[in-house]
Amino acid sequence: MDQAQIEVQVLGSLSQISAEDWDSCACPEAADGGRPLDPFTTHRFLLALENSGSVGRGTGWQPQYLTAYLDGMLIGAAPMYAKSHSQGEYIFDHNWAHAYENAGGQYYPKLQIAVPFTPATGRRFLVRSGYEAVGMSALVQGAVQLAADNRVSSLHATFCTEDEAIAGEQMGLMLRSSQQFHWLNDAYADFDGFLGALSSRKRKNIRKERAQACGFGGEIRTLTGDDLRPEHWDAFWRFYQDTGSRKWGAPYLTRQFFDIAQEVMADDMALVLAERDGYPIAGALNFIGRETLFGRYWGCVEHHPCLHFELCYYRAIDFAIANGLARVEAGAQGEHKLARGYLPTRTHSLHWVGDPGFADAIRKYLDAEVAAVGEEIEILTEYGPFRKLNPEEQQ
Question: Over the stretch 126-137, which tens digit does the pLDDT of each residue have?
Answer: 999 999 999 999
Q: What is the pLDDT of residue 250?
A: 77
What whole-number distance in Å separates Cα of residue 99 and Cα of residue 97?
6
Beta-strand pair 73-78/65-70: antiparallel
Band of the pLDDT at 395, cuts 50, 70, 90? very low
- pLDDT of 143 > 50? The answer is yes
Provide the 3-class DSSP secondary structure of residue 160. Answer: strand
- What is the pLDDT at residue 247? 65
- 391 pLDDT tier (thresholds 50, 70, 90): very low
Nearest C-alpha neighbor of 23 from the set 5, 6, 47: 47
Residue 306 has pLDDT above 50, yes or no: yes
AA letter at 223? L
- Across the range 162-173, mean pLDDT stands at 97
Greater pLDDT, 9 or 241: 9
Query: What confidence score (pLDDT) does residue 248 get?
Result: 62
Residue 85 identity: H
pLDDT tier at 245 (50, 70, 90 boundaries)? low
- Model confidence at 291, in pLDDT bands (50, 70, 90)? very high
| Percent of the chain with pLDDT strictly greater than 70 | 96
Mean pLDDT on 371-376: 94
Residue type, 41: T
Asked if residue 270 has pLDDT above 60, the reply is yes
- 173 pLDDT higher than 60: yes
What's the rounded mean pLDDT across residues 212-239? Answer: 96
**Average confidence score pLDDT of the chain:** 94
* Residue 390 pLDDT greater than 60, yes or no: no
pLDDT of residue 243: 73
pLDDT in tens, 9-33: 999 999 999 999 999 999 999 998 9
Per-residue confidence (pLDDT) for residue 311, from 0 to 100: 97
From CA 278, how far away is CA 66, in angstroms rounded?
46
Q: State the DSSP code for 174.
A: E
Q: Judge whether 24 and 104 are in contact, CB under 8 Å.
A: no
CA atoms within 13 A on the CB side of 82: 17
pTM (two decimals) = 0.95
Question: Across-strand partners of 180?
Answer: 345
Instruction: Kindly tell me if the per-residue pLDDT of 394 is higher than 50.
Output: no
Q: What's the rounded mean pLDDT across residues 288-317?
A: 96
Give the whole-angstrom CA distance, residue 272 versus residue 254: 20
- pLDDT confidence of 290, banded at 50, 70, 90? very high
- Alpha-carbon distance of 330 to 293, in angstroms, equals 8
| Cβ count within 10 A of residue 317 | 24
- Structure confidence at residue 40 as a pLDDT band (50, 70, 90): very high
Helix axes 255-264, 230-247, angle to 10 degrees: 140
Q: Specify the higher pLDDT residue, 393 or 261.
A: 261
Judge whether residue 2 has pLDDT over 60: no
Model pLDDT, residue 211: 97
Mean pLDDT of 244-266: 86
Return the pLDDT at 73: 96
Angstrom distance (rounded) from CA 253 to CA 116: 10
CA distance 113 to 46: 13
Res 5: pLDDT? 86
Beta bridge pairs of residue 164: none
The pLDDT tens digits of the residues spanning 53-76 come to 999 999 999 999 999 999 999 999
User: In the predicted model, is pLDDT for residue 1 greater than 50?
Assistant: no
In 3D space, the residue among 161, 118, 134 whose CA is nearest the CA of residue 74 turns out to be 134
Q: Which residues pair with 6 in a beta bridge?
A: 70
